[in-house]
Structure 1
Amino acid sequence: MNKKIFSGLFALSFAGISLSAQETVVRSYDLKEVVVTATRMQLPLSAVPQKIEIIDKQKILSVPNENVADLLKRTTNLDIIQYPGASASVGMRGFPPSAHNRNYTLVLVDGKPAGTTNLSSIPSDFVQRIEVVKGPYSVLYGSDAMGGVINIVTRKPDHHQTGSASINAGNFGQTNINGYASGSISDKSCLLLGFSRKVQEKDYRIGSKNLLSINETGKKILDEQSYGSMMTNTGYSINQFTGGLNYRWDKVWSADAAVDFVASNDIETPGNYWHSYGLSKKDFNKHNASLDIKREVDHDALLCSLYSSKYDENNHNNSTDEAFIDSKEKIGQYGIKINDLHSWNNISLISGMDVDVFDVSSQRFSDKITPINPYRPDHSNLATSVFVQGSYQGDDFFVNAGLRYNYTRFTLEADKFLGNDKKSTGYSNLNPSVGIKYFIFPMLNIHASAGNAFYVPDAYKTAGMYQVGKKQYRGNENLKAETSTSFDIGLNIFRNDILDLDVTCFHAFYNNKIIYDYSHNDYITYKNADDARMNGLEIVFSSNIARMFHAGYNLKLYASVTHLFNDNFDEVAVDAENNKSILTKDMLYVRKTTGNFSITYDNRKGFITCLNARYIGNRLENDWLTGGEIRPDITSDDYYAKGGYRASDKILQHPAHLIFDYSAFCNLGTHARMGISVANLFDENYTEKDGYNMPGRSIMGHVSYLF
C-alpha cells in the first residue's frame, strides 16, 4: 500500500487521541436494552429467544457504506450477489441470494415490506439501526422469510430541535451530501425532513492484489488483466428524499406518517468486466409511504398500519444519449396490517391480521415503440393472514410461541407474446414457531428456536421466457411452493460490556427447492429438487477489553463467523434408459464460511477509529461467461468436479477473499465531526458475482455538523 496513505491514516489516528470534546456526537447504547421492533411485540433484545443481531448507529458510522447492501456485508455474516449499477440482494444460513426475483430473506423498512429486494437501492444516510433476525420468521411476516428477516429502522421525528448536514468526497469522483432537520411544529406534532445525494462521476478502479493465496484457476476466473484496471461504465447518481410526521391527539391516540423517495437517472451498468452483455444504463425510482395509527391504554396497544411501496426500473439498450428503454418493470406492494398487543404482568399476547398485495408488470421493446416478449408475465399475489403469538418473560426464563395461517392467491396474467393464459393458483400454509431462552446463571443462558416458512414461486420461473446470450429460458407451470423447517440452539455468555459470546448451531430442512432443469436440448427451464438441507455453526464474540482495567477509553474487539457443514440438495437424475437416481449436489451462490472482524478504539473524548475485516469463503457458480475471447484459458480441468457435479456441468469454485476497511473520526467541539474512511484498504480484487469485479481501494473524507 502507498506509504503516503499509511502515513496519513496513522497521523490522523495519533492526533485524535489528544482531542477532547464536551460530548460525543455519536452516543453508545446498551444493546441488551434495545427494543426489537422486528418481533412486532416490542420486546427487549435480552428477552428474545430467536437469534437477532443489532447493527446500531455507532457501527453504521464505523464502516464505509453507501447503501444498505454495503452496510450489511461489512457488519454481519451473509451471502450477497452484488453488481456495479446499484443492484444487490442477500441470503442467510445457506438460503442463496437471488438477483432476479423475490428473495428468501424478507426485507422490511420500519416493519413494513420494503417493496424491493435490491438493497443497493436503499441509501444508508437515514438508517438508525438494522435488526437482523436469523432463521424462519413466517409466523409474523408470511412468505419470503425462510432465511430470516432484515428490518431497517429509519430516523424518526423528535420534539427536540435537531438536525445535521454533512459532505463526503473521495476518489472515483465520489461525493455524498446529506442533511436532515427535526423538531416540533406544534404541541402535538413533530416533523422530520431529510435529503441526500450520492454521485460517482468516474469509473472505479478494480483492486490490484489478493491477500490470500489464490490458485491458478482462481486467477483465471478473476482474469489477470483485471488487476488494477478500470471497470468501464460504472458511474451513478442517486437522490433520496425522506420525511416523517408524528401527531398525538391525546395520551391514548397517536399517528405516525412516513414517506421516502429514491430517484436515479443514468446509472451506468458495465455488463461484466468484458462487457459481453454490452454497456448500458438504467433508471430506478422507489417510494415507500406508511401510516401507523396507535391506541395505547394501560396494558393494551392497538396498531393499524397502512403501507404502500413502488419500485420502477427502466433498462436502456446501451449507454449513449441515443439509447432507448428496452425493458421496464414496475413492482408494487401495498396492504394493511392490524394487530393488538396485550400484557398481563409478565405475559404478552399479540394477535392480528395482514392483507398484503404484491403486483408486478413487465415490458420489453425491440425499439422505442415496438413491444416484444417480456422476461416474465404480469402477475400478482394477494396474501391474507391471521396470526397469534404469546410471550412469557420470567426472571430467568423467556419463551414465545405463535401460529400463522396464510392463504396466498397467485394470479398470472395472460400474455400474447409468451403464449400463456391467465391462471390463478391458491397456496395455503400453516406456520408455527417457538423460541425458548433460559438463564442458567445471570451471565449464562441457553436459547433455542424452531419454525417453518414458505416461498411462492416467482412468475418468471412458472411462465417466463427470456434469453441471456445464446441461452433460452422458459418457465414451468407445474412448480410447487418451496417450504422449510428450521431450528437452532445456542449458548450465550454475557457480562456487561466486558464479554458477549454466542455459539449457535442451526439446521434447516428445505423442501421443493427450485433449481435449473437442463434436460431439454433447446432451452433451460426449472424444476423442484427432492430435498435439501443446510446446517452449520455461528459464533459471535465481542469484548470491550478496556473495561477490564477500568480504563478511561474503550477498546472493542468483535468477531463473527458462520460456517456451513452441509448445504446441499437432492436432484432426481434420469439417464438415457430412463433410469432414475438421486444426485446430492452442493448449493450454488452460497459460501461455506463467512466472517466479520473489527477492532474499535474510542478515547471517549471525541475520537473513534475502527479497523474492520470481512472474510468471504469459496462459493460455487455456473460458468455463464467462458467462451470466445472471454477467459479462453479456462478448460474442463478448471471446473468443479465434486459435490455431485461433473466437469460437464461447468461449475466454477470462486476463491476466498479477505477485505479490510478503515475509518477514523473525531469531534471538533460539541457539534462538528470530521474523519476519513478507506474501503478495501489493501486493494483486494474480488467479486460478489462472477465477472463483476468490485471497486478497489476507495478513500473518502467526511465533514458533518450537528445542530
Structure 2
Amino acid sequence: MYPTKQVKIDRLVYALALVPLLAVPAAAEGKKQTVKGDDMIVTATRTEERSIDVPVTTQVITRETIEMSGVADVGDLVGKYVTGHYHKYNGLLSPIGLRGFRTDAHGADLAGYVLILVDGHRIGTGNAAKINLDRIERVEVIKGPASALYGSAAMGGVVNLITKKGDGKLGGSVGGEYGSFDYYKTQVTGGGEVNEKFRFFATADIDDIGDYKDPTFGTVYNSGVEKKNIGGNFVYAFSERHELRLGGNYSDLTSESPSWAAGTYSSYVKEYDDHNDKSTGYADLEYNGDFFGGAVHWRGMAYYLWDKNHWFSGNSYGNSDPDSYQTKYIDETVGTDHQFTWKMTSWNSLLAGFTMENLEKKSYGVADSLPARPYTPGLDYDNQALFIQDSLDLLDNRVNIIAAARYDRFDVTTKRAETGSYASFNERSEDYSHVSPKVGVGVKLFDEKLRLRANAGEGFKSPTADQLSADYYHTTRDVHYRGNPDLDPETSMSYDIGFDLFFSPVTFKFSYFHTDYEDKIVSKVYSEGGQTVSTYENHGDATLTGFDIGVEWALDKTFRLPFTASLWSNMTFNTTYRDELTQSDLLYTSDYEIKTGLNIGYQGLSGQLSHALIGPQMIDNWDTYQVEEKGAFSYWDLTLRYRFDEHWEVKGSVLNLFDQEVEWVRGYLMPERNFLVGLTYNF
C-alpha cells in the first residue's frame, strides 16, 4: 500500500544531500549575514522586530514561495513547507498540526490546539482548506506554545496570515488557470498606492475542480470542489503617525463527499452524492497610531468572524435524497483587541493590552426531511483577556530577553439547538480563568553569525462549553449529556533550546524541544440509576520531545553560478511522543518529516522542485477499530514560471510528479500526477 522502496531511496538521497549542507558553514565566506537574520517578523512578539532579535524561531513563507507552490489554500501550503502534521481529507477539510498538536478535526476554532490568525486576530476556523492564498502576502509560523500572547488553542503553535495592504505602485492583474480533472480558475486583482494617504488591495476569483483520480483506485467520485472568494484591504493614513485599515474576505465554498463501496480500499460509489457548504468570512477594522513622539504605539482592532459548516448527508442513511438529513453549525464571533507598546528606553520595551471576544455557535438539524436535533447543541463563549510583555535588549543588543504573561477568563453556556426538541434541557453557564506565562532568551555572538536561544512557556486549550456546562437529555440516543464544571484547561509546558548559524551562503537552525502535556480532556460514559450518562474528565498526560532543523543554502553564491539557485530543507524528528497513562505512542505523530526544495531563477524564468517525506505514525483504523501503524509516504512537485514583455506571466505546475500514493489520512488518497497551467496579464 505504501511506497516503502521509494521512501528508502528518499532517505539515502537526504543522507547524501545533508553532508555538504552541514559542511558548508565552515567553508563559507566570513561576511555578516544581512538577509535572513534581518527579516522583519511580527507574530512572535506582536510587534515588528528583526527575526534575529527575537528568541522565538519563526518560519516565514514569502509571497514568492506562495506563488511558486502550485497550491491554492493554506492547508496545502502548510503541508508542503511546514513540518508538523497535516490531516487532509477529500473536499474542504484540512486540519493542520504543529509539534504533536493540531486544529480541530472539523475546524471548530476554539476546539483546536493550533491557532490560525489573520493579521494578528483569530480567523474563526481551524480548517485551513477554507483559506484562500490570493490575499496573503506572507505566512509566519511559530512552533511551540504562544498562549502568553494569543490565549486558548495556541498550544502547538500559531499560523499568522499577513494580508496584502496595497504597498507599491498602483496596478492590477487578470489571469486564468486550467488543469487536470476539469480544473479552472479565473481571477482579477487590483491595488497599490492611489496617493500619499490612500492605498488598497482587492481580489476576486472563482475556481472549480471535478472528480479527481488517485494512482490506485481510479476516479474518486464526488470529490469536486467549487470556490468563490472576494476580499481586500483599504488603508487610509491620516498622517505619518496615524493610519486606519478596513479589511475582510468572504468565501463561498461547496464540495462533495466521496465514499468507499464496501470497506476502505475497495472502490468509490458514483451514486453517493452527499455534499457540504463550508463558507466562511470575516471583516476587521484596525487603527495604528504613534503618540508622545513615537514613544507609545497603539494598535486597536475590532473584528467580526463568520463560519458555516453545513453537511447534507441523506445518502449516509440510505436515502436517495442527500438533503433529507442535514447538520448545520454557524459560528459568529465579535471581538476587539488593543495593544500599547511603550519604548521606555533604547533597550526596554513594554507591551500591554486586552482582548474581548464573544463567540456564538448556532446548531441546526434535519432528519427524514423534518427539523431535528443536531449532534451538538448551541454554544456561547465570552472571553476577556489581559496580556503583558517586557522586551529587554542588553549589552549593545547582544542579549535579547522576552517575558510575557496572559490572563484569560471564560464564561461559557450550552444552549438549546435551533431545531428539534429535548426531554429536558438546562441552559447552564460556567466560568473559569487561566494564566499563561512565557520567557525567552537569545544571545548573539561573532558579529551576529551565531545565535543561542532558549524558551520556556505554557500553552492551554479551553474546555468547550458543552464539556463544562452541558445538561440535557437526548431521547433518541437515550443519553444524559452532563458537563463537568470542575474541568481544568488542557495545558502544555514546553522547553526549547537551540542555535542559529548565519553565514553568507548558508543559514542553519537547530532546536530541541520538550513538552509536558497535562490534563487531557477525555469523554467518560457511565450508568447512573439505570440511565447512561456522558460527561468529561481530565485524564492523562503525555511527553513529546524532538528536534527541528532548518537549512537554507544559496548555491549560486557558493559555486558562483550565473543564475540564482538555493536549496532549503525543513526537518522534524520526533524522538518521544508517549501517553504517560497508557505508555503507548501518541496517535497521528510521525517519526520524522522532511520537506525540501530547490529554487532557481534566470532573468524572467524561475522554478521550484520540492519534495515532502512523511514518516510512519500510529493511527486509528476505523474499519477494525484498532490502532495500527500507517506507513511513510512522499511526493514531488514542480513549478515553472516565465515573465516576459513586462506584463505577461505564464506558469505551469506538475503536482505529484512521480505519481506516488499520497495519503495524509488513512482511506483518503490524494490525486494522481496532475497538471495546471496559467496565464496572467499584469497592468
TM range (shorter): 0.7 to 0.9
Pairwise CA distance, 1:230 = 1.3
1:427 aligns with 2:427: no
**What is the match of residue 501 of structure 1?**
508
Mark the CA change 1:322 to 1:449 in structure 2 (over 3 Å): closer, same or farther: closer
User: In the TM superposition, what are the counterparts of 1:85-484 in structure 2 within 5 Å?
Assistant: 85-100=91-106, 101=108, 102-158=111-167, 160-185=169-194, 187-200=196-209, 202-207=210-215, 227-265=216-254, 267-271=255-259, 279-297=273-291, 298-318=294-314, 323-324=323-324, 326-343=326-343, 344-368=345-369, 370-393=370-393, 394-414=396-416, 416-417=421-422, 419-442=424-447, 443-459=449-465, 461=467, 463=470, 477=484, 479-484=487-492
Q: Which moved more, 1:334-343 or 1:98-107?
A: 98-107
Task: Give the counterpart letter for 1:441 in structure 2.
Answer: F
**What is the match of residue 223 of structure 1?**
none
Q: Helix, strand or coil for the counterpart of 1:487?
A: strand
Q: Which moved more, 1:93-102 or 1:663-672?
A: 93-102
Alpha carbons 2:314, 2:326 under 8 Å: kept: no
Pairwise CA distance, 1:508 = 0.8
Pairwise CA distance, 1:670 = 2.1
Task: Give the counterpart letter for 1:290 in structure 2.
Answer: D
Q: Give the TM-score taking structure 1 as reference length.
A: 0.83
Q: Helix, strand or coil for the counterpart of 2:37?
A: helix
Task: Give the counterpart letter for 2:303 in structure 1.
Answer: Y
Alpha carbons 1:556, 1:600 under 8 Å: kept: yes
Highest RCO, 1 vs 2 (Cα 8 Å, sep ≥ 6) = 1
Mark the CA change 1:420 to 1:51 in structure 2 (over 3 Å): closer, same or farther: farther
1:502-550 superposed Cα distances (whole Å, 9 cap, x missing partner): 1100011111112455888989875433321111111111101210233
Mark the CA change 1:261 to 1:395 in structure 2 (over 3 Å): closer, same or farther: same
Q: Which runs of 5+ in 2 are unaligned?
A: 1-33
Quick one: distance in 1 between partners of 2:181 and 2:500? Answer: 43
Mark the CA change 1:419 to 1:83 in structure 2 (over 3 Å): closer, same or farther: farther
Quick one: distance in 2 between partners of 1:515 and 1:403? Answer: 27
1:592 aligns with 2:572: no
Q: Helix, strand or coil for the counterpart of 2:133?
A: coil
Alpha carbons 1:96, 1:590 under 8 Å: kept: no
Q: Which runs of 5+ in 1 are unaligned?
A: 1-28, 208-226, 572-582, 627-648
Mark the CA change 1:525 to 1:691 in structure 2 (over 3 Å): closer, same or farther: farther
Quick one: distance in 1 between partners of 2:445 and 2:480? Answer: 55
Quick one: distance in 2 between partners of 1:161 and 1:324? Answer: 50
1:683 aligns with 2:683: no
1:556 equivalent among 566, 580, 585: 566
1:275-326 superposed Cα distances (whole Å, 9 cap, x missing partner): 6995410112211100011211422211110011100122112478873461
Quick one: distance in 2 between partners of 1:665 and 1:137? Answer: 37
Pairwise CA distance, 1:570 = 2.8
Quick one: distance in 1 between partners of 2:103 and 2:575? Answer: 19
Q: Helix, strand or coil for the counterpart of 1:323?
A: helix
Quick one: distance in 2 between partners of 1:306 and 1:653? Answer: 46
Alpha carbons 1:168, 1:703 under 8 Å: kept: yes
**What is the match of residue 7 of structure 2?**
none
Count the aligned residue pairs. 620
Quick one: distance in 2 between partners of 1:610 and 1:466? Answer: 56
Q: Helix, strand or coil for the counterpart of 1:88?
A: coil
Q: Helix, strand or coil for the counterpart of 2:239?
A: coil
Pairwise CA distance, 1:625 = 2.3
Quick one: distance in 1 between partners of 2:647 and 2:423? Answer: 59
Mark the CA change 1:324 to 1:436 in structure 2 (over 3 Å): closer, same or farther: same
Q: Helix, strand or coil for the counterpart of 2:52?
A: helix
2:498 equivalent among 475, 490, 494: 490
Quick one: distance in 2 between partners of 1:253 and 1:518? Answer: 56
Quick one: distance in 1 between partners of 2:424 and 2:629? Answer: 38
Quick one: distance in 2 between partners of 1:71 and 1:464? Answer: 41
Q: Helix, strand or coil for the counterpart of 1:82?
A: coil
What percent identity do the matched residue pairs reach? 24
1:48-107 superposed Cα distances (whole Å, 9 cap, x missing partner): 111210001121122221100011110110212111111111111112443134211100
Q: Helix, strand or coil for the counterpart of 1:71?
A: helix
Q: Which moved more, 1:269-278 or 1:617-626?
A: 269-278
Pairwise CA distance, 1:585 = 2.2
Alpha carbons 1:89, 1:103 under 8 Å: kept: no
Pairwise CA distance, 1:188 = 2.4
Mark the CA change 1:396 to 1:361 in structure 2 (over 3 Å): closer, same or farther: same
Q: Which moved more, 1:684-693 or 1:93-102?
A: 93-102
Alpha carbons 2:424, 2:473 under 8 Å: kept: no
Q: Helix, strand or coil for the counterpart of 2:665?
A: coil
User: In the TM superposition, what are the counterparts of 1:589-668 in structure 2 within 5 Å?
Assistant: 589-603=588-602, 605-626=603-624, 650-668=626-644
Quick one: distance in 2 between partners of 1:661 and 1:123? Answer: 20
Task: Give the counterpart letter for 1:493 in structure 2.
Answer: L
The CA RMSD measured in Å over matched residues stands at: 2.7
Q: Helix, strand or coil for the counterpart of 1:552?
A: coil
Quick one: distance in 2 between partners of 1:475 and 1:240? Answer: 40
Quick one: distance in 2 between partners of 1:503 and 1:186? Answer: 45
Alpha carbons 1:334, 1:356 under 8 Å: kept: yes
Q: Give the TM-score taking structure 2 as reference length.
A: 0.86
